[in-house]
C-alpha cells in the first residue's frame, strides 16, 4: 500500500488521491465522491498519509503500521468503534491497537480522523499490506540492472 499518493487536505473532508501536480497545486480525486478537482497550494495544506506518524511514549509510529494493526484487529472480528464514539471508547480502542501511544499528545479528534481514514481506505479496498518482493541483484535508480563500471587498463 503506497500512502505517499494519498493526501489529507486542510478544509476538505475525506482523503484524496493525487492525479497530477501543477506548479501551484494538485489535481486530486476525492476517495469519498470520486470527483476530480484542482486544489491550490496557496489556500490549503497537503499532508501525505505516508508522512504522518502517531505519537508514542518512545518514538513516533508511522500511520501505515497503525492502519495495519487496525486492519488485523478488524479481520479478527474486532472492528474499530464509530468515529463519533465517546473519548473513553476511542482511547480504549487506541490502547488495544497501539499500546505505547502517547495519551497526552493523541487527542480524540486524532483518533476519530484515524478511524474515518481507515474506513475510507477499507471501503475503497486500498488496504494492501503485502510488501513488494525485492529482486535479486543490484538495481539502478529506475529499476534497471546496474551496469558494471568499465575499468581502465593500464600498461606496464
SS3 category, 23:
coil
Residue length, the chain? 156
- Strand extents, DSSP E, the chain: 6-9, 16-22, 25-30, 36-40, 46-48, 53-55, 60-62
pLDDT tens-digit profile of 73-120?
A: 999 999 999 999 999 999 999 999 999 999 999 999 999 999 999 999
Q: Is the pLDDT of residue 153 over 90?
A: no
pLDDT tens-digit profile of 16-32?
A: 999 999 999 999 999 99
Q: Answer left, alpha or beta for residue 115, where phi above 0 means left and psi between -120 and 50 means alpha.
A: alpha
Domains and CATH numbers, the chain: 3-48 (2.30.30), 52-123 (1.10.10.1650)
Amino acid at each position: 500500500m503506497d500512502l505517499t499518493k494519498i493526501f489529507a487536505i486542510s478544509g476538505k473532508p475525506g482523503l484524496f488521491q493525487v492525479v497530477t501536480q501543477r506548479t501551484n497545486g494538485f489535481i486530486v480525486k476525492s476517495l469519498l465522491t470520486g470527483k476530480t478537482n484542482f486544489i491550490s497550494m496557496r489556500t490549503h495544506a497537503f499532508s501525505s498519509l505516508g508522512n504522518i506518524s502517531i505519537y508514542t511514549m518512545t518514538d513516533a509510529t508511522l500511520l501505515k503500521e497503525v492502519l495495519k494493526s487496525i486492519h488485523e484487529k478488524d479481520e479478527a472480528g474486532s472492528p474499530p468503534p464509530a468515529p463519533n464514539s465517546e473519548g473513553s471508547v476511542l482511547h480504549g480502542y487506541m490502547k488495544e491497537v497501539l499500546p505505547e501511544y502517547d495519551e497526552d499528545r493523541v487527542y480524540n479528534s486524532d483518533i476519530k480522523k484515524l478511524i474515518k481514514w481507515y474506513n475510507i481506505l477499507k471501503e475503497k479496498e486500498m488496504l494492501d499490506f503485502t510488501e513488494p518482493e525485492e529482486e535479486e541483484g543490484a538495481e539502478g535508480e529506475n529499476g534497471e540492472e546496474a551496469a558494471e563500471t568499465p575499468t581502465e587498463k593500464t600498461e606496464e
